[in-house]
A = this chain, B = another copy of it.
Amino acid sequence: MKALLPLVLLLGAGAPTGAIPTAPPPPATLAEIEATAPETAWRPVAPDDLLLIDTPKGTLTIELAPGFAPEHVAAIRALVRAGAFTGGAVTRVQDNYVVQWGTKNAAKTANAPGVAATGPELPPEYERAAARVPFVPLPYPDAYAKQAGFSDGWPVATDGATTWLVHCYAMVGAGRDNPPSTGDGSELYAVIGHAPRHLDRNMAVVGRVIDGLAPFAALPRGTGALGFYATEAEKLPITKATLASDIPVMHLRPHYQVMRTDSPTFAALIAARANRREPFFLRPANGVDVCNVKIPARRVP
């Protein structure tokens, strides 16, 4: 009968603190799991990794991934701090693929093939030695890699030798032209369609939109090649880009948390995703792909 105990008793605020159970609790509904996740199931987003892109349509809130693409993240932080994104724009929206934005300079030359990046040349930070990356496997097959899974709040895949961030919905990468050296962080994209996993290990994934993507996914699709906007008037201006760590007034800084993917709560969430228990479902799938797990993130006071 233990499997039928309401999850709130196991994971709720009233549960004993400090003691993280070693075995995952029984599957429950997603809503139950998220609502009752203990504080220990969340990790903070570091203020220096929290990037805010302001536009008239809202703010894209991004967690940067310095653990996977340290030089790209450093370059992006430098561009943000130099004010390069202010006056930039969203230049491209391709249906079932990506929304893309760039700095002032990048937005000017967007869709002008052959224009070289002006920033410093960055290494192809497309994958990391697997031994250096914490890894929680997803116990279902992956069409692209030996093993998919999660690492410190990120969706990843591995072939045993290296591990890489995967292109799920909302993941953010650094745009580039054909030569890998052209991705300098001045053009970024977020996935707004079915996971384009063919891009994995071909581009530097630099973060994830953890809040505010929906209005950008709803932007008009560009009519130019690859979904670039054909006219300047169509571009959505970037009014400001800020790292949370640069907001001097502490109480004005936004704070976010991402669910710890090495937590028992997340193990329960995977189980619930793979076998949905809501009354709507007649037939649980007994499987889920890495991009359909949707790692929870939340704004906290």
Residue A218 lies at the interface, judged by CB distance under 8 Å to chain B: yes
Residue A87 lies at the interface, judged by CB distance under 8 Å to chain B: no
Residue A248 lies at the interface, judged by CB distance under 8 Å to chain B: no
Q: Which of B124, B195, B219 contacts A194 (CB 8 A)?
A: B195
**Copies of this protein, total:** 2
Is A95 a contact of B289 with CB atoms below 8 Å?
A: no
| From A93, A168, A197, A219, residue with most partner B Cβ within 10 Å | A197
Q: Which of B126, B213, B291 contacts A95 (CB 8 A)?
A: B213
Whether A217 contacts B169 in the complex (CB less than 8 A), given A144-B288, A273-B198, A280-B178, comes out as no
A64-72, A102-110, A135-143: which lies at the interface:
A135-143
The number of chain A residues touching the other chain, given as a range, is: 35 or more
The residue on B at minimum CB distance from A196 is B292
Q: Which of B96, B194, B282 contacts A180 (CB 8 A)?
A: B282
Is B143 a contact of A169 with CB atoms below 8 Å?
A: no
Residue A35 lies at the interface, judged by CB distance under 8 Å to chain B: no
Q: Which residues of B contact A287 (CB under 8 A)?
A: 142-145, 197
Is A198 a contact of B285 with CB atoms below 8 Å?
A: yes
Q: How far is the CA of A84 from the CA of B262 in the complex (A)?
A: 51
Residue A83 lies at the interface, judged by CB distance under 8 Å to chain B: no
Q: How far is the CA of A279 from the CA of B177 in the complex (A)?
A: 10
- Smallest Cβ distance from A144 to chain B, in angstroms? 4
The residue on B at minimum CB distance from A276 is B198
20 pairs of residues in contact across A and B, judged by CB atoms under 8 Å: A95-B213, A126-B282, A141-B141, A142-B287, A143-B143, A143-B148, A143-B292, A178-B279, A180-B282, A194-B291, A195-B289, A195-B292, A196-B292, A198-B288, A198-B292, A201-B283, A202-B283, A215-B220, A217-B217, A218-B221
Instruction: Please list the residues of chain A having a beta carbon within 8 angstroms of any beta carbon in chain B.
Output: 93, 95-96, 124, 126, 138, 140-145, 148, 168-170, 178, 180, 192-198, 200-202, 213-215, 217-221, 273, 276, 279-283, 285-292
Given known contacts A138-B143, A180-B282, what 10 new A-B pairs fall within 8 Å (CB)? Answer: A96-B192, A126-B283, A140-B143, A143-B292, A144-B289, A197-B292, A198-B276, A198-B285, A200-B285, A218-B219
A-B pairs with the 6 shortest C-beta distances? Answer: A141-B141, A95-B214, A143-B289, A144-B287, A140-B143, A169-B194
